Amino acid sequence: MKKVRLFVNENEKSRETANELTELLYSRGFTITEENYEIAISIGGDGAFLRMVKETDFDPSIYYIGIHTGTLGFLPEVLPNELKEFVSYLEYGDYKVNEVGVLETIVECKKDSKHFISLNEIVVRDSLLNSLTLDIKLENELLERFKGDGMLVSTSIGSTAYNLSFGGSMVYFKLHTLQLTPIAPFNSNSYRNLQNSVIIPEYVPIEMMPVEKNDLLLTIDGENHYIKGVTKINTKVGNKKIKRLRYHNVPFSKIIKEKFLG
């Protein structure tokens, strides 16, 4: 594999790292190109990794890897002071690769339907951020009639992002799960809701049907979509997987400790 594409964050540290990496890659016979590349490298943080995957349309044939130039990231794992060793790894590498499931969401509306792909999560809320009611079904069985601000569905990789801020759990990346995290669930004598996240295998489809209010705000990996007349949201990890090239294989507990406990 000799063709590489770079996705560089707009800051000095990332640009410097990109320049250094470019020189090293050229000196070892690599080409940097925007077409027919085999390896995609982000330089930045988790956000940069996410944008790279999105910009390349979640391509299952590419190897994705990130260099972290910001605060410690969960997704990018190469350090800027490791570029030489990293380029040797790319040159001679006996590649370690993880397959990462991608969340596929179909939103059925009164007239048509829409299709979305995400790596971290989807967030379902009322379009005006008022409360909403959702019938949530797992394996064709009603789990609950949810009432509250909304519902977040996160992959394992996304579990350390938005999901965590809404009180969800961090899930070991090697586990292939989806997590349903309620956002401000009502809890009174009139409305009983699950107050905690439910973690399910990633292949179990989730259905969410809005009751009464059908105009929703869907946030897909941080991008907002206002969708009118929604009748049903189907989401699951299908057969589509992307390849995450591993470098350090940093233990999950180590990243958590460094990122959250200092």
Q: Match 């000196």 to its residue by tokens.
A: 27
Structure tokens at 105: 């969401």
167 touches ligand NAP (CB under 6 A): no
| Phi, psi (rounded to 5 degrees) for 69 | -110, -5
Chain positions 112 to 151 lying near Mn ion, rule: CB under 5 A, are none
Separation CA 224–CA 246 (nearest Å): 31
Q: Which of 7, 25, 46, 245 binds ligand NAP (CB under 6 A)?
A: 46
Give the residues across from 30 on adjacent strands. Answer: none
Structure tokens at 169: 């759990």
Choose one: 55-63, 71-79, 169-177, 180-188; the region binding Mn ion (CB under 5 A): 71-79
Would you call 46 a catalytic residue per the annotation?
Answer: yes
What 3-state class would DSSP assign to 184?
A: strand
How many residues of this chain interact with ligand NAP, rule: CB under 6 A? 18
What is the number of the residue whose Cβ is closest to ligand NAP? 222
Residue type (1 letter), 148: G
Residue 77 touches which of Mn ion, ligand NAP, none (CB < 5 to 8 A by kind)? Answer: Mn ion
Chain positions 136 to 165 lying near ligand NAP, rule: CB under 6 A, are 157-158, 160-162, 165
What 3-state class would DSSP assign to 157?
A: helix
Residues that are catalytic: 46
Which residues contact ligand NAP (rule: CB under 6 A)?
A: 45-47, 50, 70, 73-75, 120-121, 157-158, 160-162, 165, 221-222
